[in-house]
Amino acid sequence: MPASEQVNHKEEKDKQKMKVIVIVVVAIAVVFGVLLILYCISKRTNFREKLENNVMIDQNIEGQSEDMEVTFFTLATVATATNNFSSNNKLGQGGFGLVYKGTLVDGKEIAVKRLSQSSGQGLNEFKNEVILIAKLQHRNLVRLLGYCIEGDEKILIYEYMLNGSLDSFIFDQTRAEVLGWSMRFNIIHGIARGLLYLHEDSRLRIIHRDLKASNVLLDSKMIPKISDFGMARIVGGDQTEGNTRRVVGTYGYMAPEYAINGIFSVKSDVFSFGILLLEIISGKKNRAWFHPDHGLSLVEHAWKLWKEGRPLELIDTCLEDAGIQSKIIRCLHISFLCLQQHHDDRPNMSSVVMLLHSEGSLPEPKEVGFFVGKKSPSSSKNQPSSVNEITNTVLEAR
């Protein structure tokens, strides 16, 4: 073989070798590349799945803190639970709508408040109210479970209270006997705590504006829960009172400055609490009861007895027991402090809660104020509907 051919041959061989090497390298590179890409893709989906999970968890946590587990119910669910809003399921009438008892498919009992279309509440106000109530969580406030908005229907779903409302106990001769003083005191204390939370302890300052016996519900352990926030008003941080041209509330529980001038404040709630206290102690309804002899209203009659030094005559007969009389008289005293004519003279709820527990001396009450009665601008005697317990009593402010 000539030398030049030999060189050529060698070059040829080297070239082929190179080709094979290149092919192998490329092949390996491609395989690695593909593997890498596959790996990356799988990793990315994993990552995305993880990310999505995280986002979902975050949303759940956030949803819980923001919306407090308020659930949206479909109208069909609510209709099924209440037998199509059957009158047999009717529990009563609250401000702005009828309340029904319902049973969900899983057996859980609920209270369903169907707002009447004439409630005049718009969609945004309704949603705001839902969010507001959902944020209020306290052992002495009824808990909102969910809501339903569909077509014209606006519905609130609350936890169901086994023992019904306080008025069905204290104003009923036979059921009232079940309530001994310690149970009554626990109820008084619970209501005071619930109201204190609304006024001072929650993130918002809330004035209920319609505290009354029928708006206090009792659970299976007789723990009282304040309900019906349809008329509640939020007032700004430092603000403690507001003014309205439309006075809503219930005669007999309204503070004079609210009933007459439309000025509401935490102190007008304190006044309503004072009336409630008087009713729990006496077993008599402020709005419906007048003394058979002199026709005085409950507040006037109680105040008269107090001034004459005969407070024990007011106490519900079921409560006559010497050992507890001094405690009852202390509560009566506190109720007069809550019923002071001028709102500055009334204690705030944190003072009330403190006074209920302490044994120290109490300030002497001045003249009590009242709205129902002979001297009131709108005597209940001229009001044929005065026994009617429906809340949405509206009178124009003067």
Ligand X SMILES: *[C@@H]1O[C@H](CO)[C@@H](O)[C@H](O)[C@H]1NC(C)=O
> Are the CB atoms for 378 and 353 separated by under 8 Å?
no
Query: What is the distance, to the nearest Å, from the Cα of residue 28 to the centroid of all Cα atoms in its chain?
Result: 69
Binding mask 300-339 for ligand X (x = CB under 6 A): ----------------------------------------
* C-alpha atoms less than 13 angstroms from C-alpha of 246 in its C-beta half-sphere: 6
Using CB under 6 A as the criterion, what x/- string covers residues 228-267 for binding ligand X? ----------------------------------------
| Residue 207 phi, psi dihedral angles, 5° rounding | -105, 120
203 phi-psi bin (left φ>0, alpha ψ -120 to 50, beta other):
alpha
Q: Which is nearer to ligand X, 221 or 398 (CB)?
A: 221
Which residues have a Cβ under 8 Å from the Cβ of 69 and sit 6 or more positions away?
63, 134
Q: Which of 62, 125, 200, 313 binds ligand X (CB under 6 A)?
A: 200
Residue 210 annotated among the catalytic residues of the structure: yes
Residue 74 interacts with ligand X (CB under 6 A): yes or no: no
Q: How far is the CB of 351 from ligand X (least distance, A)?
A: 5
Indicate the Cα dihedral angle 56, 59, 65, 71, nearest 10°. -80
From 167, 210, 269, 316, the catalytic residue? 210
Q: How far is CA 298 from CA 17, 231, 280, in A?
A: 114, 25, 12
- Number of residues counted as binding ligand X (CB under 6 A): 12
Cα separation, 242 vs 257, in Å, equals 11
Q: Residue 139 or residue 291: which is nearer to ligand X going by CB? A: 139
Residue type, 59: Q
Please name the helix (run of DSSP H) or strand (run of DSSP E) that holds residue 327, with its range, or none.
helix 322-338
- Binding positions for ligand X, 158-177, rule CB under 6 A: 162-163
339-358 residues near ligand X, rule: CB under 6 A: 348, 350-351
State the DSSP code for 200. I
Copy the structure tokens of residue 53: 């999970």
CB of 82 to ligand X, least distance (A): 9
Decide whether 62 or 200 has the Cβ nearer to ligand X.
200
Burial letters 224-250, b for 16+ CB under 10 A, else e: bbbbbbbbbeebeeeeebbeeeebbbb
Beta carbon nearer to ligand X, 46 or 86:
86
Token pair belonging to 17 = 């070798």
Tell me the longest C-alpha to C-alpha distance in the chain: 149
List 67, 69, 83, 378, residue binding ligand X (CB under 6 A): 83
Minimum CB separation from ligand X for residue 262, in Å? 22
CB of 220 to ligand X, least distance (A): 4
User: Are the CB atoms for 111 and 92 separated by under 8 Å?
Assistant: no
Bridge partners, residue 74, by sequence: none
Taking the least distance from each CB to ligand X, the nearer of 348 and 388 is 348
* Binding to ligand X, residues 102-141 (CB under 6 A): none
Residue 105 or 123: which CB sits closer to ligand X? Answer: 105
113 labeled binding residue: yes
CB 317, min distance to ligand X, A: 18
Q: Which stretch binds ligand X (CB under 6 A): 8-16, 61-69, 79-87, 388-396?
A: 79-87
Residue ranges at the known binding site: 113
Annotated binding-site ranges for ATP? 113
Enzyme catalytic residues:
210
Instruction: Give the interface with ligand X as residue ranges (CB under 6 A).
Output: 79, 83-84, 162-163, 178, 200, 220, 222, 348, 350-351
